[in-house]
Structure 1
Amino acid sequence: MSSHRKPRPTSPLTRRAVRVGLFAAGVAGVASAVPAQAATGGPSRPAVASDHVFSHANRLDHTETKDSFTIRQYGKVNAAAVRNQANAVSSGCSADDECRSVALSFQIVTFAGEQTRLNAVNLSDAANKNCTGCQTLAGAYQFVVSTPTPLTLDSAHRRQLADIHRRLDALTRSKVPAADLRTQADGLAAEVNAVLKDAVADAPKGDAQDDVTMHRHLDGWPGR
């Protein structure tokens, strides 16, 4: 029997953010379902976002593939705790009876503020449990957009992101080998990053610097 698991490093914070402990108890397990259109210029408030994708393939369900593509837009915030996580497990299969487990999570969070306290966590974990020859991939992509004034993505940028989302769905459901899937997921992430940078370039300017930071973590079996 074999069991493989890799450590889960946390991602770096954005340049303008000040690292602090999670400002609300148990924040890791709390999801804030804020509509994408919710960015406003109202009073500063804390923001919490948590997204998690989990897939598990085994002898009863040889293939399980899941993905998530979330956009969470906040207005002015004084503190933000954002967490993005992908976990994939393959168990109990063999080289003659392979399993395939894929979990991909894309999280986009926008907020505004001059001195926002930020805690950003982005992690992935892929585990093969007694699963010789199985393909297991977990990928977490987190995009943190910080601007001096609230940013609302316009219809053109949202259409571009919707198109990337559709292609992510197709990629997740495909039978592309795990190593190639990693490469293509990275390509989609680069497109998201470019769309967000373009959106920020068109946004009103303030005293502080605009910032788009992408956090990426991939874990998988077999590796490259």
Structure 2
Amino acid sequence: MTDHRKTHPARNPLAQHLVRFGVLAAGVASVAAAAPAQASAPTTSPARSAVASDHTFTHADNLHHTQVKDSFTVRQFGRVNSADVRNQALAVSAGCSADAHCRSVAFSFQIVTLAGHPTHLNALNLSDAANQHCTGCQTLAGAYQFVVDTSKPIALRSDTQRKLADVHRRLDALARSAMPAADLKERVDALAAEVSGILHDAVAAAHTPETDGQPAVTVHRHMDGWPGH
């Protein structure tokens, strides 16, 4: 049987296509101050179109030397016939000096669950870190998009939600630390891999088979940072 599911080409050089569930590449941005994790309840309505857009933006300058923010969102869409999901992180450092350098960190985690085959899927994940006349500044932007795509709708159970919340708390603790950027990237990347494992276990617990050889969990990741990684 032909699989009509589509992942449209990236519309921006920063975008990456969805990749199969597996080991994440090293490198990640950090989080220092975070908004509470948001979790939507799975829908029980008939198949429909789903749209999700999550983003995080920070801007540090000589008046606000440290600006940090993260988003950690869980969206459960249930059965859909098409989905358009976007996740973005943008960090800017501008006009600081080596003696009073800036630190700008933006970090966005987006978790999406959906069901229904065939599903027309357009997934976009972006990050951008920009230094604008900013000597010695640290500017980090990281976007992670996790898509759980199953033939039948599943609901993330309370134990899964607790595990995800625990990962979010640990992200916050790492970001508030004085850990060098390179080490933060490695540590947070490991937490992102942990999220992938949690979601993979959730699918297995729901006894939902993978369809047409496609993995039920895919990960979309993009990192950008100054100094370079």
- Give the TM-score normalised by structure 2: 0.82
Partner of 1:65: 68
For 2:196, which of 189, 193, 197 is the aligned residue?
A: 193
Matched, 1:212 2:220: no
Letter in structure 2 aligned against 1:46: S
Deviation for aligned residue 1:13: 3.7
Alignment partners' CA distance in 1, 2:138 and 2:210? 48
Partner of 2:29: none
- Give the TM-score normalised by structure 1: 0.84
Aligned-CA RMSD value = 1.7
Matched, 1:172 2:201: no
Alignment partners' CA distance in 2, 1:148 and 1:79? 13
Deviation for aligned residue 1:97: 0.9
Identity %: 64
For 2:104, which of 98, 101, 105 is the aligned residue?
A: 101
Partner of 1:118: 121
CA spacing shift, 1:207–1:93, aligned 2, 3 Å: closer
Deviation for aligned residue 1:162: 0.4
Partner of 1:137: 140
Matched, 1:38 2:41: yes
Letter in structure 2 aligned against 1:83: R
Matched, 1:88 2:100: no
Alignment partners' CA distance in 2, 1:183 and 1:151? 31
Partner of 1:11: 16
Alignment partners' CA distance in 1, 2:226 and 2:124? 23
Partner of 2:227: 222
Alignment partners' CA distance in 2, 1:143 and 1:64? 26
Deviation for aligned residue 1:179: 1.2
Q: Which runs of 5+ in 2 are unaligned?
A: 1-11, 21-37
Q: Is the 8 A contact 1:13 1:118 kept in 2?
A: no
Runs of 4+ in 1 over 3 A off after TM superposition: none
Letter in structure 1 aligned against 2:73: T
Q: Which runs of 5+ in 1 are unaligned?
A: 1-6, 16-34
Point out the more displaced range, 65-74 or 196-205.
196-205
Q: Is the 8 A contact 2:80 2:114 kept in 1?
A: yes
Instruction: Report 1 or 2 for greater relative contact order, CA contacts < 8 Å, sequence distance ≥ 6.
Output: 2
CA spacing shift, 1:160–1:177, aligned 2, 3 Å: same
